[in-house]
Chains A and B, each alone.
Chain A
């Protein structure tokens, strides 16, 4: 029983890490209709940012996240202006190659700037754990999980309870009609993309004390996060969170029951099974083009 609970905790904490990345990715797709292959590279930038702030100033990594996240947001604005805005309305293949190109560019820029050295942030609390009911809960993982859940909940509230959120939904539903109603579509796109990639940067910063930092670290996340977004339903924030937690649980449980080699394979099998039964994912609508924020 204790072991099963420990696997449950491990899986949920892991899923929490995926959730913050997945929420941003699903938001970008739902609103901008852009499949952002560079999403995990913004996470990588967040990791490097926190590493350098911690390394050069000695500032605590979690405080460094507060410095780095706005910088990633600013960089997101630049990327949106220079690349994303120019692909809106273009053929899908153009969008795919634009974000794929951005991904490769960012990886190689990081490689050039910071070399391929593998770096790590070590703190006194890197190995700190809480032990409720005899379970072992990593404090850095718990912090990341909590921030991810709060951020996802906050984002969902903004999208569903505020006028600005309703404007975002309107743009997602019909760009032209929203523009005719006086909504500044370009501005909505700009902030949606920037906030989503800033969330990825924040997530990168939060996990920097847990994982090693190197230019291609994003590659190990991006496929899983796409699976989560599709499983949750394209454009659905709650769907992304639910799917992220489910994937984390499957990864932890299958890894224990069948061996680590089966962890990825297991969630891909379940992913395929869900898509056969419900092609639009948990919360997506049939056709999967419309963002609902719910």
Chain B
């Protein structure tokens, strides 16, 4: 190669390098500019939760979590984004779809956040999709919410993960503690025949089918009209399972236990999967008999070691707790999930979005990575990109196993997240329980 050619080549390389550096610098400036001034500067957020009807009591916690997240974001965000919260009642699935229309047409909501109940979310999210409105699901678990729609960003766990985790715990951690080999485990599955119950049960069954363990009983019942579970219990008594996975709301979960005591049906271990088994009202109804019952749920600040969280997450939790206390509200599981879901949407997804369209918000969500220690709930955030199966689902929403111990729910499994040891495995018989209560 001649010196002339070599010089020309060097010049070309220099020009290319200069161009690349200029472009890179431009991009960096662009990025900085975007960070300082996001494309979206205002948002009208529609909160869709049951505010009347049976579900209102739990949903109130969720709505309050969203309200505090919006309030805190408006006070503290450095992006200059302002969020206005509008609300609508969604007491049932039809009310959910109507609530979406109200929020979008009358209240001009850009994005909807909900919903507390799977059945309502399953009606509301497609209704929002038909109107081209993004939907943030902070608290409902049913698998179909993200599987059947393309507009949902779900910050919490899916029923598939919940059901699979419940059964996985039964077949591994619980079996080991019961000193029963997985292949010898006899498992019963009892669930409500609504969207919530069926979707979790399907996932639990799928996990069980991968195992050599035996399904000894599969029973569903209508949650809204069941007044008697004696037939379920007599069948349970006959099949003698090592463990029962029960997916229920508070009234039917309480009924099962009261009738089990009346009929002296012994269940060595019972694992609830969300719903009623995680509610204080369930524990209040059972009294000391609640100790030892398991519940599989996404973790919350109340069930993890919050001192292990990052300083930023601890500060966020402190703000939440103070604001809940100031108003005399209750900080339940749904407060935490809804607050953190709304916070991640506002603080992580919204500033990254080029617009409030479904596509841009889904794209922004796909860029988000929040570590578990940066979240008050103890689970992180990473969303499945658009176009992939179950798009919008938070992959890092992983459940933990809690156990009722002295009236509170403590994480006992997996071991790395446990704050307490197992108790009452296997559960005492009813005769032993009577003695304990009498003592």
Interface residues of A (CB under 8 A from B): 3, 6-7, 10, 14, 17, 108, 111, 115-120, 122, 126-127, 129, 136, 138, 141, 210-212, 214-217, 219-221, 223-224, 251-256, 259-261, 263-264
Contact = CB atoms under 8 A, between A and B. Distances in A.
Given A115-B57, A117-B57, A141-B262, A10 B230 contact: yes
B250 interface: yes
A279 B59 CA distance: 45
A136 B53 contact: no
A263 B285 contact: no
**Chain B binding surface, main DSSP class:** helix
Given A14-B228, A120-B254, A223-B225, 9 more contacts: A10-B231, A118-B254, A120-B284, A127-B430, A212-B250, A255-B230, A261-B220, A263-B228, A264-B222
B407 to A, nearest CB: 13
A219 B285 contact: no
Interface in B241-285: 250-251, 254-255, 258-259, 261-264, 279, 281, 284-285
B262 A127 contact: yes
Contact of B251 (A126, A214, A260): A214
Contact of A220 (B227, B229, B258, B262): B227
A117 B281 contact: yes
Nearest to B260: A127
Interface of B: 52-57, 193, 219-222, 224-232, 234-235, 238, 250-251, 254-255, 258-259, 261-264, 279, 281, 284-285, 287, 430
A256 B258 contact: no
A260 B232 CA distance: 6
B277 to A, nearest CB: 13
Nearest to B57: A116
Contacts of B430: 127
Contact of B231 (A119, A120, A217, A252): A252
B275 to A, nearest CB: 12
B231 A255 contact: yes
Contact of A116 (B56, B229, B232, B235): B56
Contacts of A129: 262, 264
B258 A116 contact: no
A159 B19 CA distance: 102
A211 B284 CA distance: 13
Contacts of A14: 227-228, 230
A252 B56 contact: no
A127 B222 CA distance: 24
A261 B222 contact: yes
Nearest to A115: B57
